[in-house]
Structure 1
Amino acid sequence: MRSLFLCILLLSLGLPVAARAAELLILQSSRSPVYSEALGGFRAAARTNEQPLVLSDYAEVDVQRLVREERPRLVVAVGDRALAACRKIREVPVVSLLSLSLSQKPQPDHIGGVTMVAPPGRYLELFAQLGARRVGVLYDPKLSGLYLKRAGAEAGNYGVTLAMEAVRNSRDLQAKLENLKGEVDLLWLLPDSTVVTTVNMEALLLFSMTRGIPAVTFTGQYLKNGAAAALDIDPYDMGVQAGELAQSLLRGASSHKVPVLEPRKVRLQVNDSVLRKLGLRIP
């Protein structure tokens, strides 16, 4: 790490830096325990020579120049900030994990990785198990439009209809919730930063409780606040999955396009007291 810090310092001063031989440059957005857990899985699957860099440790990092000087064969971007810093990289493939933006828009061929959201079919299967037929979901088209387009195409296979309300400003959520009153028998909460704010989560879960319908979320942390169930990701296994992808890229198995993969391991968590209160059970 000291050598990489020196490299960044020399680059910031405009001084030449000798080429290095690290196979991987790992860009980590911050020192989050979740990121560390994912990287533990990544390193278990991809045992390679690496240079790690935590972006939050520095005021500014010229990632493009760093890649040109370090000459890694592949860049691993952990978190949204790291992926954003890699957007201008063209020289090497980028494998992303724990970044919501990976699934929010089409990616160029050299950027891929593992998304943060369970596949739509996993949610739709859960809705069917809960007996839901009309599912309400609030979303920002720019952030969740692509994902919900897929969900809408698959919903009929599970006997589910999606009642979708577009929310382009977080302050508009309450009005959009009014449109769902009496129209849905389940509320689906996605990891959408326009919809999921502290204030809005209170309103969403209150809507669920007062209307007597279950709320299904993307993280178990909301179960204690009244959500009925959650499909949570497994950061360690996501890291393993990303590590396996990195290894295949380094071997040249997927040289033309870096695929965008969905997390293969998803944990169902439930709030038993809420389910009992609603007279629901999951087989």
Structure 2
Amino acid sequence: MHGCKISTFLKAAIIIIFVFWMTIPEIPANEVQIDVLVSHNESPYTEVLTGFQNYIVEQKIQMKCSTYILENKKAPISQISLEIKKNKPGLIFTVGTIPTVEALKVFDDVPIVASLILDENTMKRARNSTGVILDFPIEAQFFWLKSFLPEAKKIGVMYNPLENQEKIRRAGEIARKMGLELNPVKVHTPKDIPNALKSLANNADVLWGINDALVFNSLTARHILLFSFRNRIPFCGLSSAWVEAGALYALEYDFYDIGVQCGEKAVKIIRGAGVNSVPVSLPRKLLYTLNLKTARHMKIDIQEEHIRNAYKIFEE
């Protein structure tokens, strides 16, 4: 297995770090150049990179790679496009929304495999991209909701229609098929949230959190969790940070496996598959975190099996 060549490239506000994987002197003619563009040199980005790298190695793909870690979120990929073009990559792997969006602007003739992005629309107009979206199938989310809260039937959810109208429509159909009732409330500005919560107080057994930048963020979290606590309506959080703050549970991603999934897509493309024949997918592995203090406050009995299998538990 041949590895990465170390080089440096500094421009404007961007810091580019070339990550050295492995180095072996001889470089075969059939070696594949893979350029990796990463938002940050920290977890979970590094976990995704490790999963991707290890899978490529296991498949005995002969490759040379240059990894660019963009520490400045606002730095455009155009500043390093000339360096990348000199590499003549056979494939570009992006980790994070910013490098994905910028790479798609600059490279339309190189296959791009993307990860750690929240919105599939990011790649919809590009014919040269595929990847793994950070979301879970709605069916899986409702399956676990019923597992943790078997008596809950009415699901309350707040959403920004500009971002999630289609998702809420699909969720309503799926909920009906699973014997659940979805009660969505539109939120056009953060000021709408108090009234939206008030309308759900008597119309929801559980609050469902979704990827919605307007509704669920660090500025709205305290108000939502306080409402959940006071009304004893459990909130299904979006991450372990929400659970630690008071949400009952949250589904979590296995970031290493997301990297492996992207590696699988990359290998298919390297071996001749067209990018369009390698569909965008969702994470296939699911973890979850629990807040047992919240469960006790709301008098919710969590099955011992679910407690044993939790990825992380918050008790105090």
Place the TM-score, normalised by the shorter chain, in its bin. Answer: 0.7 to 0.9
Give the aligned partner of residue 39 of structure 1.
49
Q: How do 1:1-283 residues align onto structure 2 when only pairs under 5 Å count? A: 2-3=6-7, 5=9, 23-47=33-57, 48-56=63-71, 59-62=75-78, 65-88=82-105, 89-102=107-120, 106-129=124-147, 130=149, 131-283=151-303
- CA 1:149/1:83 → structure 2, altered by over 3 Å: closer, same or farther? farther
Counterpart contact for 1:104–1:147, Cα < 8 Å: no
Asked whether the 8 Å contact 1:24–1:74 carries over to 2, the reply is: yes
Change (3 A) 1:72 1:147: farther
User: What SS does the aligned partner of 1:86 have?
Assistant: helix
Measured in 1, the distance between the counterparts of 2:123 and 2:209 equals 19
Change over 3 Å in CA distance of 1:90–1:39 after alignment to 2: same
**SS class of match (2:203):** coil
Whole-angstrom distance in 2 between the partners of 1:239 and 1:143: 26
Q: Give unpaired runs (5+ residues) of structure 1.
A: 10-20
Aligned-partner SS, 1:173: helix
More helix by share: 1
Structure 2 match to 1:15: none
Q: Take 1:26 and 1:184, find their aligned partners in 2: how far apart are those partners?
A: 44
1:103 Cα deviation from its structure 2 partner: 6.0
| Distance in 2 between residues matched to 1:257 and 1:90, nearest whole Å | 17
Gapped regions of structure 2 (runs ≥ 5): 13-30, 58-62, 304-316
- TM-score by length of structure 1 reads 0.86
Aligned partners of 2:123, 2:101: CA distance in 1, in Å?
Answer: 13
Residues 146, 50 of structure 1: CA spacing in aligned structure 2 closer, same or farther, 3 A cutoff?
farther
Give TM-score, length-normalised by structure 2.
Answer: 0.77
Q: Distance in 2 between matches of 1:135 and 1:107?
A: 33
Deviates more, 1:56-65 or 1:207-216: 56-65
1:85 match: secondary structure: helix
The one-letter code matched in structure 2 to 1:223 is V
Q: CA deviation at 1:86?
A: 1.9
**Greater relative CO, 1 or 2 (CA 8 Å, sep 6+):** 1
- The percentage of aligned residue pairs carrying the same residue is 28
- How many matched pairs? 271
**Which residue in 1 is equivalent to 2:25?**
none
CA shift at 1:104, angstroms? 7.0
Aligned residue for 1:92, secondary structure, equals coil
Paired residues of 2:123 and 2:129 also in contact (CA < 8 A): no
User: 3-state DSSP class of the match of 2:109?
Assistant: coil
Q: CA deviation at 1:124?
A: 0.6
> Would you say the 8 A contact 1:101–1:143 is kept in 2?
no
